[in-house]
Amino acid sequence: MLNDKTRVDCITSQYAIEFDFAQKWAESIGQSLYYSTNTGKLPGVVLIIENPQKDIKYYRRLNKVAEKYNIKVWTICPQNLGSESNCSFFLSK
């Protein structure tokens, strides 16, 4: 918990990471940057992909901004739960 009572979803040795569903991609950017600023860690987002065909547009939007602001992006899909891989659908795009 941060001083202002907000909670970072996940903190690692390098990253302050926000987890969010694909349609909340824009919100995840602001939260990851805010958490990064307050923790001194790099910003990161785990985008939760429920429907790859529908959610690809959100993934692309997030990545466009993430590239500019150096936000690390990971994805997770239901079929990847329990594995260490990102959504294979996006790796081929």
Say which residues have a Cβ less than 8 Å from residue 73's Cβ, sequence separation at least 6: 44, 45, 46, 47, 62, 63, 66
- Residues 51-80: tens digit of each pLDDT: 988 999 999 999 999 999 999 999 998 776
Q: Would you say 75 and 87 are in contact if contact means Cβ atoms under 8 Å apart?
A: yes
Per-residue model confidence (pLDDT) at position 93 = 43
Q: What is the mean pLDDT of residues 25-48?
A: 97
What mean pLDDT do residues 26-34 have? 98
User: What does the mean pLDDT of the chain come to?
Assistant: 89
pTM: 0.85
pLDDT band at residue 2 using 50, 70 and 90 as cut-offs: confident
